[in-house]
A and B are shown apart, each in its own frame.
Chain A
């Protein structure tokens, strides 16, 4: 098990390979469909210092607001990443993001982006919302909550030992590509 802490350096990311299991500690920024569209179309300056050498998480959490105004996460597993395929590589480059957490994997465009920028795609277990919320130690801030609504907002959080698997590395490796090819071949045999 490899331990990673943000800010993450490019050399730490380049050392990771498909199949590595990682425990991540530090700053993670949640963003999904509306956030990615916004990041590419508006390129807001204020997000740059927040995202630099940090990690984006494709997740729309269930949150709880306490009486004193602070937030906590109740359930926070990954959402399907492929919806961000049109935007992800631009986002990686514009904001120097070192990793993307999600589920289901991403495509060629993102893979090229990971290689160019020096970033990894980390997979975490879909549906494990209760367990993953336990690893969120603090909600630091939330941006665009009014505009986007809670599942789509930029939640800025600190995680501890967030369990991840590298399924796309910065050297064009992709576990998703391998599994797709094997399963397509098997399906062909079954359907012949």
Chain B
């Protein structure tokens, strides 16, 4: 049995030492009009692009150890692990596709969304200038690239979801979602005669298997699947992406869906697609499924595929004004 240890990334003190936040930086939440979170968001982007979450790293190592020693699958996952270590060490983007930059912001009453949006956009432009993000926002038809990740209308990129909550702190979560894995996402409308899927758990399972076979290695497997059942087309897709923020290996509070997630993770790993589609035992790292309410006539199963380089991180600013990253 081959075995590769979980790599040690640079210690948190070293990460802190390279922070772009000035020492002792604090946000003054008591004065929302003067609040400026741009430097804290810039630091969030620096860490997210170069440092993979621990749960993702551990599941990649577990996948590596499931592959036969010397196989293409094992060698490929060794390359992935080596890349994780290098990117962290050099504070370089893990992947050149730094993705669509998606934010979820939760804030108390009184914080200006308009101002936060300006600050987040400025941080994204600054991170692009520092080569932490690739300029990934182009005009749909002409392909024209403004070079700073800003769509000129301030509407579509970066993507920012706002929600007011009843807590006093601010939480900003970011996900960098690459184009390759975004392209293999899929939305099914049940019943689906082509794959024999009805409006039940069996049907949902068929959609997921079908989507993973169609994706092959093209979403940079081993992938993580976010599946949303129900909703309208838009909300369904949106939530299938948001659920990818869950930790790999975490339990679904819905016992039925939790059982289906575990069953599917095991079954999908018998498909033989393997790392990067070279063949092998590790095709997915995890499956997350969520149920929403729906219109009686519609039954959507929306699947978002996240590549192995699942870059996500949360910045929390408590009432003490300190920025914490997790």
Task: List the interface of chain A (C-beta within 8 A of B).
Answer: 19, 21, 33-34, 59-64, 74-77, 79-80, 82, 103-105, 123, 125-131, 133-134, 148-152, 163, 165, 167, 175-176, 178-180, 182-184, 186-187, 190-191
- In the assembled complex, the CB of B141 is this many whole angstroms from the nearest CB of chain A, namely 12
Within 8 A of A (CB), among B56-108: 72, 75-76, 79-80, 82-83, 86-87, 90, 92-98
Contact between chains at A179 and B76 (CB < 8 Å): no
Give the number of residues in B that approach A within 8 Å (Cβ atoms): 55
Task: List the interface of chain B (C-beta within 8 A of A).
Answer: 50, 72, 75-76, 79-80, 82-83, 86-87, 90, 92-98, 131, 133-136, 138, 143-145, 147, 178-180, 183, 195-196, 206, 209-210, 213, 216-218, 220, 267, 270-274, 276-279, 307-309
Q: Is the interface of B mostly helix, strand, loop or mixed?
A: loop
Closest 7 CB pairs of A and B: A149-B145, A130-B87, A104-B218, A126-B220, A75-B93, A75-B96, A129-B96
Q: Which residue of A lies closest to B280 (CB)?
A: A179
Q: Looking at the complex, which one of B183, B213, B270 makes contact with A184 (CB distance below 8 Å)?
A: B213
Q: Which residue of A lies closest to B135 (CB)?
A: A150
Contact between chains at B82 and A131 (CB < 8 Å): yes
27 contacts between A and B (CB under 8 A): A62-B96, A74-B92, A75-B93, A75-B134, A80-B179, A104-B180, A104-B218, A104-B277, A105-B277, A125-B76, A127-B220, A129-B83, A129-B96, A130-B93, A131-B83, A131-B86, A149-B135, A149-B144, A150-B135, A151-B134, A175-B278, A176-B277, A179-B217, A186-B271, A186-B272, A187-B209, A191-B195
Q: Which residue of A lies closest to B218 (CB)?
A: A104
List B contacts of A130 (CB < 8 A): 50, 83, 86-87, 90, 92-94
Most buried by B among A76, A127, A180: A127
